[in-house]
Structure 1
Amino acid sequence: MRNIKLVLEYDGTNFAGSQLQANGRTVQGELERAIAELTGLSSGAHCRVQLAGRTDSGVHAEGQVANFKTDSNHSTEIFRRGLNALLPVDLVVTIAEEVSKDFHARFSATEREYRYEILNRRSRSPLSRHYVHWVKTPLDVNNMAEAGKVLVGRHDFASFAGAGMGVPDTESEGKPGTVRELRRLEWRSGKGSLIEFWVAANAFLPHMVRNIVGTLLEVGAGKINLREFEEIFAACDRRRAGPTAPPSGLYLVSVKY
């Protein structure tokens, strides 16, 4: 059996998430359907796809990674072109390559990087409503950047954990709990009124990026000061932190191995 690695880009607006679900259109489901059709699998048969990271409904990706095993003789270029001919317009394979048999898109990953985009202006944008989070209140980016510094390093991120908190997770070296290693955190100015939040870690808890963003926005709006943010983080209590930012502004940018 050959092991094929794919790099994916998708618009998450009309997906129920990346992972296969009993009900709902998913990235994994569309990809497995296309692979079955391209490789000529019999009706009802499928080729299981592994994904590097789980993305929720409405979350986008520029560099999601997948892998699957196959006995097909297709070249990697045929896989890329053939799958793109069969996939819907909101999902595309940008790279296809053969990798070692022990490569696993999720378990072999050493780092994930996400970007969150915020439109900070008085008026909303109908054109970008599915791709940014609109915040009308003026934000102090310097205060958000200063507060975010405390998060960098290996810490317990229970205050920013969503559903599944404390569940054993092989993405975090097989250890249960809410400890993760956040390696980089940066706020950048984008075009016009766009503000970008970039963050990279060995792995992320469910909703962790969106919960961090939601809380840092409270700092930027002056609702939480720097000392209070540090106290929220140290409390390891999700109830103390800010709201979960919406999925529309979140992008899985890249995965490292």
Structure 2
Amino acid sequence: MFPSFFGLTRTTLNCGMSLLRKLITRFLLNAVVVWRAAVKTAYDGRLFAGSQRQPDLPTVEGEIIETLKELKAIRNEKSSRFKAASRTDRGVSALGNVFAFDTEFRKSELLRAMNSVARNLYFYAVAETPIDFSPRRAKARWYRYWLPNFGFDIDLMMKCALLFEGKHDFRQFCRYDGRSTKRTISKIAVSACGNYIAIDFIARDFLWNMVRKIMSAMTMVASGRATIEDIKRGLNGEFVDFGIAPAENLILMDVSYDISFQVERPMTLVRKITQGKTDAFLKSFFFDHLDKVSGLSLNGYL
């Protein structure tokens, strides 16, 4: 017979241990777990006054923060350590900007919930990151500029692209904000796409307005309004006014890291994509038909 321990039998001890295990399991299941989320986000920049928060203006960060607050996924941006990978100006769109924040929200439900609340934002991938993850520390950023081809010399544009690749002082090709203006561009690729030209820029990071100012310089050379020598002078530190290209043609395509994102397509996202594609089709049909009935073919100009 099993000896008693403070008057307890084996059966009583086993029952007590079983109950304790159940209580511990229940506690662990219900315990609040804080994790750091990184969410890939797309948006039409024409609908926002830029990505960075501004009082009384519609911004990307502002809408994301209000979405997370409404879902009770965060209390505020400070306590959640909310950060963005890239700041985009008014009019600049994104297909792969990344926003990170600390949350207790269930990971499996996060994208569905965020897409159900945010009207003009599209959340399609999520990653659970190390707690010290900062989206600013990216491996690379990829921007694409779509340029209507008004007879530009593409070969000349490609020669311009080669001048900007590598490490340079881009003081004459940015809006100076006090930071060092030395940057390294890994690649600038120029591709003809029907009536448009796609120019892809890849670098670890870019200066303020850097892509748009480089783009303006390239189009000026490709249209005969400036020379390659002018670009060389600018890269050597001489003042050359190349202007700045429109923001609406620029898209932040992706930001890459050494972490794996899980892509999801909840119905809340699918419905928004379907509506957006329908709106785009109807708008394209409208202008294509107007092009025909007006007797003015844009194909002669594009």
Normalised to the residue count of structure 1, the TM-score between the two structures is 0.82
For residue 230 of structure 1, the aligned residue among 229, 232, 240 is 232
Letter in 1 for 2:127: E
- Go from structure 1 to structure 2 and tell me whether the alpha carbon gap of 1:110 and 1:44 turns closer, same or farther (over 3 Å shift): closer
Q: Which moved more, 1:112-121 or 1:41-50?
A: 41-50
Match of 2:141 in 1: 112
Superposed CA offset, 1:53-80 (max 9, x none): 01000000011011001133x12x3100
1:129-144 pair list within 5 angstroms: 138-144=151-157
Q: Which moved more, 1:44-53 or 1:141-150?
A: 44-53
Residues 6 and 66 of structure 1 are in contact (CA less than 8 Å); yes or no, is this contact kept in structure 2?
yes
Residues 32 and 48 of structure 1 are in contact (CA less than 8 Å); yes or no, is this contact kept in structure 2?
no
Q: Quote the offset at 1:41 in angstroms.
A: 5.7
User: Which is higher, the Rg of structure 1 or of structure 2?
Assistant: 2
1:93-108 pair list within 5 angstroms: 93-106=123-136, 108=137
Residues 168 and 235 of structure 2 are in contact (CA less than 8 Å); yes or no, is this contact kept in structure 1?
no
DSSP 3-state at the match of 1:230? helix
- Separation of aligned partners in 2, 1:15 and 1:179: 30
- Separation of aligned partners in 2, 1:156 and 1:35: 39
Q: Quote the offset at 1:256 in angstroms.
A: 1.6
- Go from structure 1 to structure 2 and tell me whether the alpha carbon gap of 1:44 and 1:62 turns closer, same or farther (over 3 Å shift): closer
Residues 1:81 and 2:81 are matched in the alignment: no
How well do the aligned residues superpose, as a CA RMSD in angstroms?
1.9
Match of 2:44 in 1: 11
- Identity across matched positions, percent: 30
The runs of 4+ residues in structure 1 deviating greater than 4 Å are 40-48
Match of 1:178 in 2: 181
Q: Quote the offset at 1:46 in angstroms.
A: 7.4
Larger fraction in strand: 1
Larger fraction in helix: 2
Residues 36 and 45 of structure 1 are in contact (CA less than 8 Å); yes or no, is this contact kept in structure 2?
no
Q: Quote the offset at 1:49 in angstroms.
A: 2.5
Q: Quote the offset at 1:207 in angstroms.
A: 0.3
Residues 1:251 and 2:254 are matched in the alignment: no
- Separation of aligned partners in 2, 1:241 and 1:100: 44
- Separation of aligned partners in 1, 2:124 and 2:175: 31
Letter in 2 for 1:144: M
Residues 111 and 126 of structure 2 are in contact (CA less than 8 Å); yes or no, is this contact kept in structure 1?
yes
- Separation of aligned partners in 2, 1:45 and 1:103: 15
- Separation of aligned partners in 2, 1:40 and 1:70: 6
Q: How many residue pairs align between the two structures?
A: 224
Match of 1:170 in 2: none
Match of 1:92 in 2: 122
Structure 2 spans left out of the alignment, 5+ residues: 1-33, 258-302
DSSP 3-state at the match of 2:148? strand
Of structures 1 and 2, the one with the larger relative CO (CA 8 A, separation 6+) is 1
Match of 1:54 in 2: 87
Letter in 1 for 2:241: A
Structure 1 spans left out of the alignment, 5+ residues: 122-137, 168-176
